[in-house]
Amino acid sequence: MGIITTIEASCRDCYKCVRHCPVKAIKVTAGHAEVIEERCIADGWCVMVCPQQAKRAVDGKAQVRKMLDDGEQIAVSLAPSFVATEEFASPEQLVSALRAFGFTYVTETAEGAELVAQEHLRLLNDGQPLITSCCPAVVNLIEIYYPHLIKYLAPVVSPMVAHGKLLKAKYGPEVKVVFVGPCLGKKAEYWRAEHRGVIDAVLTFTELSELLAEVEVDSSSLQPGVFDRVGGQARIFPAPGGLAKTARLSTDLLAEEILTVDGLDEITAFLREFDQVKNSLRLVELLACRGGCLMGPGLKSGLSLYARRERLLRYTQSGVNAQQQDRSPGEAGKEAGLDRSKLFTLYTKRQVHSPAPSEEAIRQVLAKTGKFSPDDELNCGACGYNSCREKARAVLEGMAETEMCIPYMRAKAESRANLICSNTPNAIIVVDRELRIIEVNPAAEKKFQCRQEQVAGQNLQVLIDPAPFVKALETKQLVTGEVGYPAYAIYTWQAVFYVEPEDVIIGIFVDITREKEQRDKLTLVRGETLTKAQEVIDKQMRVAQEIAGLLGETTAETKVLLTKLIKLIKNEDGNAQ
């Protein structure tokens, strides 16, 4: 699993992450964007640009909590770009907050950056141009997408790794080292096999803020603290040109042999032309984030780049722990007993091999989205790719879906909608909030005896009573019912509703004239039937009553005769009357 995952339930087909990924390492399946680990350079900007927060980087807070719960000694390696945050602007108070949280040692990563700068300076004497290896996203970019340039990549560890090794040498291998910085790429870097055990956890400044908030550590209320180890001039490292400045090289814009490039778009453009310009260069400093580490995705701040840079310059010149500011280069490493060989590393090819699709295959994919000639290729970038052909290649590689072509899908949807509206037997009338007619479909033209070009722009009342439309606009609810239009000799069941995004009211009218006539006829037949039935019932009741009367008289006479007979029989038996 890579350092960035997708929350599928939150991913909503916007393709913004694809659009901002410089290497298109994001695969879209069933509308969901997934980061492909072997293609990812871990710059982390897909996390930052996602409007639905559907991208999530591996969280280091749980590791740090466990270390504290286990009673471990922990040394914090703090990247100097912390001064660019609004929350951690005061170095002294942040040091106190970190100690109050439970960290044993609080140190500056700039100390390791100084060692790295000196190693780069030493390698410049080899004669060939040197590409800096401090930025993990740049290292990943070259290893995966420009492996032929690895031979120019400085075989030096990053400041984070250099400082981790220095701290382990100084305080002991049992001490845990936690790096805190602005970079998501560091979370992938410390997982590299060659760096295992050097750094024990990586936090972004955002995660550090969340940790301190959990235990309610308020740095503003604490007494100023002092770093255990500081970085001196190397504090300038996060800014573009920071490595060259730390190595005491000229960073003037007119320095012909030293070049600083920040921003991945600019870097990829430069690397494509590297072979043409390499002979004029000695040192090329590459930083993935435009503005350098001061603008890293793990550093949330409302400050502009210029305000952040100004803070960093003041901090570099501030003279905190001034007694260590003027030490000679490499003195920290010697003091800790760190051999220069520990700063050496090798970078390897990790190129992703994708077979080049044929022209015929590309044309077939383009044809699926209605692109049969170059004129059909809008190259609008809505899908996240720079051109229609690039997106077609991604489809063939399994990284994209045909349906990602938004103009085509919109045209297709509109075509279907138009097809339905044009062929439905139901009348449709669309008006604006001023009840001006926008559109009537062919069925409406026939039912209401009008033409689109004649009524467009006119008030609805020229056709029908606008009352249901007014009610739908006012209540924002569906208005339904049966309404007759004698002027047009039709009777309709109609549904009128307001569409808020477009601010229009739509009426759909189902012609039920024939059904109404049939219902009326049925009602008439029922009434006549009931009348006839009532007449029959009344007649039958009269007959029944007459029969009942006759039967009643006969029964009474019989009863009288039988009673007399019984009495006679009793008398013959000798019973007294």
Whether the CB-CB separation of 1 and 37 falls below 8 Å is answered with yes
What average pLDDT does the segment 115-132 reach? Answer: 89
Whether the CB-CB separation of 257 and 249 falls below 8 Å is answered with no
* Gap between the Cα atoms of 533 and 443, Å rounded: 44
Res. 574: pLDDT tops 50: no
Res. 571: pLDDT tops 70: no
* Gap between the Cα atoms of 186 and 188, Å rounded: 5
Query: What tokens were used for 274?
Result: 């590297």
> Following DSSP, what letter does each residue of 178-247 receive, concatenated?
EEEES-SHHHHHTTSGGGTTT--EEEEHHHHHHHHHHTT--GGGSPP---SB--GGGGGTTSTTHHHHHT
Res. 337: pLDDT tops 80: no
Share of the chain above pLDDT 70, in %: 90
CA dihedral 322, 323, 324, 328 (to 10 degrees): 120
* Gap between the Cα atoms of 425 and 429, Å rounded: 13
* Gap between the Cα atoms of 148 and 76, Å rounded: 36
Give CA angle at 351 (347, 355), nearest 5°: 170
**Which pLDDT score is estimated for 322?**
43
- CATH code: domain 424-511 is 3.30.450.20
Instruction: Give me the sheet containing 130-131, strands edge to edge.
Output: 130-131, 283-287, 258-262
* Gap between the Cα atoms of 154 and 138, Å rounded: 12
Listed by start position, the domains of the chain span 1-57, 58-343, 365-418, 424-511, 524-577
Question: Binning pLDDT at 50, 70 and 90, where does residue 557 land?
Answer: low
Which contacts (CB < 8 Å, 24+ apart) does range 482-487 have?
A: 482/512, 482/516, 484/516, 485/448
Instruction: Specify the DSSP class assigned to residue 298.
Output: T
Per-chain mean pLDDT for the chain: 88
Helix runs in 457-506, H state only:
467-475
Helix runs in 232-387, H state only:
242-246, 264-272, 274-277, 305-316, 331-336, 359-368
Whether the CB-CB separation of 22 and 60 falls below 8 Å is answered with no
Digit-coded pLDDT (tens) for 532-548 = 777 777 777 787 777 76
Instruction: State the amino acid at position 539 in one-letter form.
Output: K
Digit-coded pLDDT (tens) for 269-322 = 999 999 999 998 999 999 999 999 999 999 989 999 999 999 999 999 875 444
> What's the half-sphere exposure (Cβ side, CA atoms, 13 Å) at 450?
22
Listed residue (85, 102, 100) closest to 222, CA to CA: 100
One CATH from 3.40.50.720, 3.40.30.10, 3.40.50.150, 3.30.70.20 for 1-57: 3.30.70.20
**Which pLDDT score is estimated for 326?**
47
Digit-coded pLDDT (tens) for 198-232 = 999 999 999 999 999 888 877 667 888 899 987 77
CATH architecture of 58-343: 3-Layer(aba) Sandwich (3.40)
**Which pLDDT score is estimated for 56?**
93
Q: Where are the beta strands (DSSP E) in 3-50?
A: 4-6, 26-29, 32-35
**Which pLDDT score is estimated for 577?**
46
What average pLDDT does the segment 116-137 reach? Answer: 90
Using CB atoms within 10 Å of the CB of residue 205, give its burial: 0 to 12 exposed, 13 to 18 middle, 19+ buried.
buried
Digit-coded pLDDT (tens) for 439-476 = 999 999 999 999 998 999 999 999 999 999 999 999 99
